[in-house]
Amino acid sequence: MDRRDLLKGMTLAAGAVAASTAIDGVAETAANAQQAAGRPEGNAVVDIKPVDSAFFISDRFAGRTFIVTGSARGMGKAAAIRLAREGANVVGVDWIKDLGEETNAAILAGGGKAAFVYGDVGDPAVADQAVAAAVSQFGRLDRLTMPASWTASIRATPSTSTSSAT
């Protein structure tokens, strides 16, 4: 049997399983239908329970400093607030000044540690300012979280001397 015959056979077999399910009139979920076709449970479609947004691990990142790009809104804002809530020092960076400062103020008001650098993350000078803020205010830089891309500044300065400490 060559490859084409093999593929044809597999298609026919899959069709037969689907047809028999339909003929039996069984209202199958996608997961049950997959299991009925002889596939292991691990391949089944399953419902995923959303994470409880109120859940957090206090002090998980205590003593660690993160730069978070795009901290003014969206994913970056959510990451900055969650990281701070879990103990991190957060240096937010964004080119929307008022909203970036709002995120920063919200972290400080909640007892967190944060700094804000205003500017374009594609500008190497802004990247340098963010690293400098991390080191001068928190003594170290551990991680970059980058919902707003940092790659433009990395490309622009391949010999940049900025570094991170772990």
- Contact between 9 and ligand NAD by CB under 6 A: the answer reads no
Pick out residues in 117-156 that bind ligand NAD (CB under 6 A): 120-122, 147-148
**In the complex, residue closest to ligand NAD by CB:** 74
- Exactly one of 44, 75, 144, 154 binds ligand NAD (CB under 6 A); that residue is 75
- Contact between 70 and ligand NAD by CB under 6 A: the answer reads yes
Closest C-alpha among 42, 61, 30, 36 to residue 143: 61
Cβ proximity to ligand NAD, 31 vs 73, nearer residue:
73
CB of residue 21 to ligand NAD, shortest distance in Å: 35
SS3 107: helix
SS3 145: strand
Q: Say if residues 142 and 164 touch (Cβ distance below 8 Å).
A: yes
Instruction: Give the end-to-end CA distance of the chain in Å, rounded to a whole number.
Output: 58
CB of residue 96 to ligand NAD, shortest distance in Å: 4
Q: What is the DSSP string of 50-87?
A: PPPTT---TTTTTT-EEEEETTTSHHHHHHHHHHHHTT
Q: Looking at 4-12, 16-24, 90-98, 129-137, which segment touches ligand NAD (CB under 6 A)? A: 90-98
Residues that bind ligand NAD in the complex, under the rule CB under 6 A = 70, 72-76, 94-96, 120-122, 147-148
